[in-house]
Structure 1
Amino acid sequence: MALKVAILPVTPFQQNCSLIWDEETGKGAAVDPGGDLERIEEAMTEVGMTLEKVLLTHGHLDHASAAGELARKHGVKIEGPHIGDKFLIDSLPVQGKQYGFPVYDAFEPDRWLEDEDTVDVAGYTLRVRHCPGHTPGHVVFIHEPSKIALVGDVLFQGSIGRTDFPGGNYDQLISSIRERLFSLGDEIAFVPGHGPMSSFERERKTNPFCSDLAVGAD
């Protein structure tokens, strides 16, 4: 059975918080709950999902700010991102004040993730790829049997993540996309951190930043 996915734009930045769950058991995870906790909890109720963990792709405010509060409220653990984003996670309360977001208590993930780790959600095994470039500790979650990936701000439909934030690196980001995502296969569809879904095939063929043509690949 395929993993169920619902996409919920949250925060003034319209960041895609994703709910992923097993339809039979109702157990699942919230990926990148950056804010609007009431909306996230209402959506969980609507789809009949019981939260069993929180997953984070990276430490930016719109993706991670409310993760600690959501995890505490439901008594679940937080997994991700890679420890390279610890400086961002540690600064979330300060970031919240700077951007006028609700300020939540600081937290530390229960598990920092490494490249090729696996994460269990409702009996489904998600593969972890460490994809630095947008941030040093950015990770991506892939469920290959469902042909779905949750890529945060690494890759978008027709674009890529910004690299002008602290710790960003353009060349590293392109390498992450080409070597750690596109290598998984054209058939993978992905949920980006903002905007509509796409597929690795579409972006490999048409993305002006990282397509075969853009990088001079055969």
Structure 2
Amino acid sequence: MENTYVVYDDSKECVIIDPGCYERSEQLALHNFITQNGLQVKHLLNTHCHIDHVLGNAYVMHQYGVPLEIHEIEKTQLKAVESYAPSYGFTQYQPSEASVWLQEEDVIRFGSTELRVMFTPGHAAGHVVFVCDAAGFVINGDVLFQGSIGRTDLPGGDFDTLIQSIQQKMFLLPDETVVYCGHGPSTTIGYEKRTNPFCALSR
């Protein structure tokens, strides 16, 4: 129920964002996609470190020899997953540690693609999104959903901060920007600006 993204271009270099793969079958699905498309993994990125977005971090790090990249504020959240994973039924969870810290306006480069890091707290204290200005999309984790927003009742969440992140950062992107969400279907910035019941700028 969590969306893992593999972003790649004609160079065949790619990044993996928010690997939620826990079961072996899920890991194989990711591996087979990368193998069948002849991709070379260059970066492992987390938008934030809630359990459903980090379950596959250790697998990807081991399988492809890449470091984990997160916002430093999320370091505590990532560490906490190990203690509460069994209570969610993830008794075989393999912990991971980040070694690269993402900051606002960092640029992730692979092949001929650039992803711009934008700091968007509210759902999680250290949440970031990855904007591809050239191709007109954003990998947005759990900030904005089709007709909804990320929950703010988890540790590090704050409703007012989330709305500010959406209206003062996400909504500055062009209306046609495609928003790829951490859960559920994609949407566009323009559609959510007009219709989202939580954060629309006009009705």
Same fold (TM over 0.5): yes
* Matched residue type, 2:4: C
Determine the structure 2 residue equivalent to 1:186.
175
CA contact (8 A) 2:68 2:100 kept: yes
- 1:130 equivalent to 2:119? Answer yes
How many matched pairs? 199
CA contact (8 A) 1:15 1:193 kept: yes
Take 2:163 and 2:17, find their aligned partners in 1: how far apart are those partners? Answer: 23
Counterpart selection for 1:50 from 40, 47, 70? 40
Q: Secondary structure at the match of 1:52?
A: strand
Take 2:99 and 2:113, find their aligned partners in 1: how far apart are those partners? Answer: 19
> Which consecutive segments of 4 or more residues in structure 1 shift more than 6 A?
none
* Matched residue type, 1:27: E
Take 1:39 and 1:108, find their aligned partners in 2: how far apart are those partners? Answer: 23
Determine the structure 1 residue equivalent to 2:89.
100
* Matched residue type, 1:52: K
Determine the structure 2 residue equivalent to 1:10.
none
Q: Do the aligned partners of residues 44 and 102 (structure 1) sit closer, same or farther apart at CA in structure 2, a change above 3 Å counting?
A: farther
Q: Do the aligned partners of residues 45 and 72 (structure 1) sit closer, same or farther apart at CA in structure 2, a change above 3 Å counting?
A: same
| Gapped regions of structure 1 (runs ≥ 5) | 1-13
| Gapped regions of structure 2 (runs ≥ 5) | none
Q: Secondary structure at the match of 1:111?
A: strand
Take 1:37 and 1:49, find their aligned partners in 2: how far apart are those partners? Answer: 15
CA contact (8 A) 1:21 1:27 kept: yes
Q: Please provide the CA RMSD for this pair.
A: 1.4
CA contact (8 A) 2:11 2:112 kept: no
Percentage identity across aligned positions? 37
Take 1:64 and 1:106, find their aligned partners in 2: how far apart are those partners? Answer: 9
Determine the structure 2 residue equivalent to 1:6.
none
- TM-score w.r.t. the length of structure 1 is 0.86
Take 1:38 and 1:27, find their aligned partners in 2: how far apart are those partners? Answer: 19
* 1:99-137 Cα shifts (integer Å, max 9, x gaps): 112533322212111111111122311111110000000
Take 2:155 and 2:199, find their aligned partners in 1: how far apart are those partners? Answer: 21
- TM-score w.r.t. the length of structure 2 is 0.92
* Matched residue type, 1:106: P
Counterpart selection for 1:26 from 1, 5, 12? 12
Counterpart selection for 1:139 from 128, 152, 158? 128
Q: Do the aligned partners of residues 160 and 26 (structure 1) sit closer, same or farther apart at CA in structure 2, a change above 3 Å counting?
A: same
* 1:28-66 Cα shifts (integer Å, max 9, x gaps): 011100223222112222333222221110001110122
CA contact (8 A) 1:129 1:141 kept: yes
CA contact (8 A) 1:69 1:104 kept: no
Determine the structure 1 residue equivalent to 2:50.
60
Determine the structure 2 residue equivalent to 1:203.
192
Post-superposition shift, 1:97?
Answer: 1.1
Determine the structure 2 residue equivalent to 1:8.
none
